[in-house]
Structures are given as C-alpha cells and as structure tokens.
Structure 1
Amino acid sequence: MGTEMNLLEHARLMADYNRWMNQRVYAAAARLPAAAVTQDRGAFFGSILGTLNHLMVADKIWLHRFATHPARFAALDVLRTQPRPTDLRAVEFETLPQWRVAREQLDAAIVDWAGELSEADLDHVLAYANTKGVVSQRRFGLLLSHFFNHQTHHRGQITTLLTQAGEDVGGTDLLELIPVAPAD
C-alpha cells in the first residue's frame, strides 16, 4: 500500500499552508510603518500592500469560479453573495488592518472549502472565463494546483519586499507543515 499524498490531501495541506503563511506575512507587515507597507518598491504590483491586494483579489476571482462547480461547496456560499472582482488591481480596503481581517475570513473559507472537497470533485472539467472574457475548460483538480501555486508565487514576492523593508517573516517552507512519516 502506497503512502504518497493524493491531490485531495495536497489541496488540504496547501489550504493550511496558505493560511499559515498569510498569518506570518500580515504579522510582519503590521510591524512596519503604514508608509513602508504602501511604498512603491518596484514590484509588479508596486508595494507590499499592492501585492497583498492582488493576491486577495485573484483568490476571490478563482473562488468565485470554483463556486460554480456542481458540488456547490457550502464554504463558498459567502463568496456567492459578494460581487466578483473583475480587475486584478482593484483595491477593496484602505488599511492593512482591514485587509488582515478580510484575509483571515477568506483563509478560513479556503480551509473549510478544502475540507469539503472529494476525490470525485477533482475530475470535473470546470468551464470559466478569465478577466478578459476568454473561456477555458480545465480539470478542477489541476486548477486547484494553479490556485495554490499562484498564492505561493506572490507570497514569495511579498516576503522579499518585507525583507527589503527590514522585516523577517521567519520560516516559509511548506516542509514545516508536512507531517512526519512514521518509520518503516
């Protein structure tokens, strides 16, 4: 019997990792003066807050798409009542504390949603349109991989920006959340 992690288990691990890392990133950003968080640092989304903003908006866009899955995940009900973002640079809040509260709520929904996923859900082909209206159809399980990879990619940028601003986020490796396997 194999002990390899399947895609469903991986999605749940990544949901936990997403929340854990966001807590670390927001805590580090909160230790900076507000001007340092909004300072344009030449990153693709400008500032630390600009990159945090992009990450939240992109997560909401993807979660709105995932909410159309026939499984009708209950954890995504909260998103169904909110407008779907249409601009990857749309700013929803003015201050880091407002962002932090919203991020914590979104991360809780992501963890709950990952807990609802079943193996059967992963094989569904999800049809969706990107922000430019281009329609695609892709296997849901692989879209989950993209969703979590996108988060990790931009948090890497954020941790670099925080380091440049003088704040250490601490350990960022997924390895810290991977359970230790029993000895054979």
Structure 2
Amino acid sequence: MSLKGHFELLSNYNQWMNSKVYEAAAHLTAIDLAKDRGAFFSSILGTLNHIVVGDTIWLKRFATHPSCLNSLREVADLRNPTSLDELVFEDLGSLSEHRIWLDREIIKWISELSESDLDFVLSYHNTKGIPAKKRYSSLVLHFFNHQTHHRGQVSTLLSQAGVDIGVTDLLTQIPEETHV
C-alpha cells in the first residue's frame, strides 16, 4: 500500500472512530460529559474539544501547502483556537456536528493529495511561536497519531463512566488481501 493509501486508511479510521466515540458519549448527561475526571484536558468534553483544536491547528498549517489551498480552504477560514484546552463547543451536539464536518474535510483533503505532495517540507510555527520545517508526510502521520492518542484517553474516560464504545482497533479497517 502506498503512503497515500495508508493516510486514506487512517482518515477513514479517524471518521469511524469519532463516530463511535461521539455515539457512546451521547449516552452521558451534559454534567457527566463536563465532569473533571483528572484527564489532561479534564473531562470527556474537554478532551473531545482538544482533538478538534489540535485538528484545526494542524489543518490550518497543512492548508499552506501549495497543493492544499483549495482542498482545505474552508478549514483555513476557521477561527484560530486561542489555547489547546479551549472549549470550542460547550455542548456535545454542536461539537459532534462540527466533528462530522471536519472528518469529511479530512477525508477530502487526503484524497486530493498526491504521493509527491507528501515529500514537501512544511514551514510553520508551533503554538509557542517556534519555527519548524518538517516533512509533510511525517506531520500527517503525527496528525493522525495525535487523534488516536487522545481518543484512547476518551475511550478510557467513557469506560470509567460505564459506557463501552466497542472495538477500536485499526485492524478492523484494514482490508483483506486477495492475493499474495
């Protein structure tokens, strides 16, 4: 499978997992979602917002790639998050609607990338203003890893709250091979 093929797999996995996580979270009350559970971003709602914040920051950076000006145009127009723990949406319904839209944008963006786009070296500044120049493909991999990392935290928080989200393995999304 090509590098782009792997990223397409990850973008679809991302959408599938977010759907499962938000469906599971919908079983909790607003109070339970906002309850401080001692996580890095306090609550289930706080952690889900952090994933959206991280995605927004990275997608806005990715949008500066010359071939992504069109595919990420709407994301580039989003307001810049003010902090990594910003509550972009204070209710699960609005956050979920935005997540669904964002996941579609991610899938569209990845589908429009070429293998050669992935070799690009992206110049950007991190949230502390420190400049960096890194290979686009490595940053895309980080982007998906960041989502998985924090969704794992949400999965644990949901489990502790008595909600099971079911199977979460990427393995379930990897297609069977018909030839060797």
Give the drift of 1:72.
Answer: 2.7
Which residues in structure 2 correspond to 1:25-40 (within 5 Å)? 25-40=21-36
Please say if residues 59 and 76 of structure 2, whose CA atoms lie closer than 8 Å, have aligned partners that are also in contact.
no
Tell me the residue number matched to 2:73: 77
The reply to whether residue 111 of structure 1 matches residue 118 of structure 2 is no
Measured on the aligned residues, the alpha-carbon RMSD in Å equals 1.0
SS in structure 2 at match of 1:13: helix
The reply to whether residue 176 of structure 1 matches residue 166 of structure 2 is no
Please say if residues 47 and 150 of structure 2, whose CA atoms lie closer than 8 Å, have aligned partners that are also in contact.
yes
Please say if residues 86 and 131 of structure 1, whose CA atoms lie closer than 8 Å, have aligned partners that are also in contact.
no
Tell me the residue number matched to 1:10: 6
Q: TM-score, normalised by structure 1?
A: 0.95
Please say if residues 62 and 147 of structure 1, whose CA atoms lie closer than 8 Å, have aligned partners that are also in contact.
yes
The reply to whether residue 46 of structure 1 matches residue 42 of structure 2 is yes
Amino acid at match of 2:106: I
The reply to whether residue 57 of structure 1 matches residue 53 of structure 2 is yes
State the Cα deviation string for residues 80-129 of structure 1 (Å, max 9, x = none): 22222241111121210000000000000001101001001000000000
State the Cα deviation string for residues 2-34 of structure 1 (Å, max 9, x = none): xxx221111110000000000000000001111
Please say if residues 28 and 167 of structure 1, whose CA atoms lie closer than 8 Å, have aligned partners that are also in contact.
yes
Amino acid at match of 2:58: W
Aligned residues: percent identity? 53
Q: Deviating runs (4+, > 4 A) in structure 1?
A: none
SS in structure 2 at match of 1:85: coil
The match for 1:130 among 126, 132, 145 is 126
State the Cα deviation string for residues 38-62 of structure 1 (Å, max 9, x = none): 1100011000000001000000000
The match for 1:164 among 160, 166, 177 is 160
Distance 1:93 1:171 in 2: 27
Q: Which runs of 5+ in 1 are unaligned?
A: none
Which residues in structure 2 correspond to 1:83-102 (within 5 Å)? 83-102=79-98
Distance 2:178 2:69 in 1: 33
